[in-house]
Structure 1
Amino acid sequence: MNLKTSALLLSAFVMACSSPQKTEKAKPKSKVQEIVDKAIAFHGMEGLNKAEFSLTFRNIDYTYKNNNGMFEYTRTQTDSIGQTVLDIMNNNGLVRLTDGDTTEITEEKRAAYTRSVNSVIYFFRLPFGLNDAAVNKTYVGEKEVKGKTYYEVKVTFAQEGGGEDFDDVFLYWFDKEDYSMDYLAYLYHTDGGGMRFREAINARRIEGVLIQDYVNLKPEDERMDIMNIAELYNAGELEVLSQIINEDVKFTLNK
Structure 2
Amino acid sequence: MKITHFLLFALVGVGIFSCNPRTEAEKIVDAAIEAHGGDTYTNVKIDFDFRNIHYTIFKTPSAYEYIREFTDSTGLVRDVLNNSGFNRTVNGVKIDTLTEERIGAFSRSVNSVAYFAFLPYGLNDPAAVKTLVGETEIKGEKYHLIRVTFKAEGGGDHYEDEFLYWFGKEDHLMDYMAYLYFTDGGGVRLREVSGVQEVGGIRFQNYLNYKPADKDTPLDKMQELFESGSLEKLSEINLENIRVEALPKN
Instruction: Tell me the TM-score normalised to structure 2 length.
Output: 0.89
Q: Which residue of 1 aligns with 2:186?
A: 193
CA deviation after TM superposition for structure 1 residue 234, in Å: 0.6
CA deviation after TM superposition for structure 1 residue 26, in Å: 3.9
Larger Rg: 1
**Does the 8 Å CA contact 1:136/1:157 hold for their aligned counterparts?**
yes
Aligned pair partner of 1:100 in 92, 110, 119: 92
**Does the 8 Å CA contact 2:58/2:66 hold for their aligned counterparts?**
yes
For residues 129-188 of structure 1, give each alpha carbon's deviation from its aligned partner in whole angstroms, at most 9, with x where no partner exists.
000010000000001112211100000000011111000000000011100000000000
Q: Give the letter for the 1:180 counterpart.
A: L
1:118 aligns with 2:115: no
Q: Give the letter for the 2:244 counterpart.
A: F
Q: Give the letter for the 1:239 counterpart.
A: E
Aligned pair partner of 1:227 in 220, 223, 230: 220
For residues 95-146 of structure 1, give each alpha carbon's deviation from its aligned partner in whole angstroms, at most 9, with x where no partner exists.
0000000112111110000010000000000000000010000000001112
For residues 159 and 213 of structure 2, the distance between their equivalents in structure 1, rounded to whole angstroms, comes to 24
Sequence identity percentage? 45
1:46 aligns with 2:31: no
Relative contact order higher in (CA < 8 Å, ≥ 6 apart): 2
Task: Kindly tell me the number of residue pairs found equivalent between the two proteins.
Answer: 231
1:246 aligns with 2:242: no
For residues 7-42 of structure 1, give each alpha carbon's deviation from its aligned partner in whole angstroms, at most 9, with x where no partner exists.
xxxxxxxxxxxxxxxxx9744321101100000000
Q: Which residue of 1 aligns with 2:11?
A: none
**Does the 8 Å CA contact 2:32/2:174 hold for their aligned counterparts?**
yes
Q: Which residue of 1 aligns with 2:77?
A: 85
**Does the 8 Å CA contact 2:40/2:202 hold for their aligned counterparts?**
no
Give the 5 Å matches for 1:26-65.
26-65=19-58
Q: Which residue of 2 aligns with 1:183?
A: 176
For residues 213 and 62 of structure 2, the distance between their equivalents in structure 1, rounded to whole angstroms, comes to 39
Q: Which residue of 1 aligns with 2:195?
A: 202
**Does the 8 Å CA contact 1:46/1:128 hold for their aligned counterparts?**
no
Q: Give the letter for the 1:249 counterpart.
A: I
Aligned pair partner of 1:74 in 57, 60, 67: 67
CA deviation after TM superposition for structure 1 residue 193, in Å: 1.0
Aligned pair partner of 1:172 in 165, 172, 185: 165
For residues 215 and 125 of structure 1, the distance between their equivalents in structure 2, rounded to whole angstroms, comes to 17
Q: Which residue of 1 aligns with 2:149?
A: 156
For residues 118 and 153 of structure 1, the distance between their equivalents in structure 2, rounded to whole angstroms, comes to 22
> What are the ranges of 5 or more consecutive residues in structure 2 without an aligned counterpart?
1-16
Instruction: Tell me the TM-score normalised to structure 1 length.
Output: 0.88
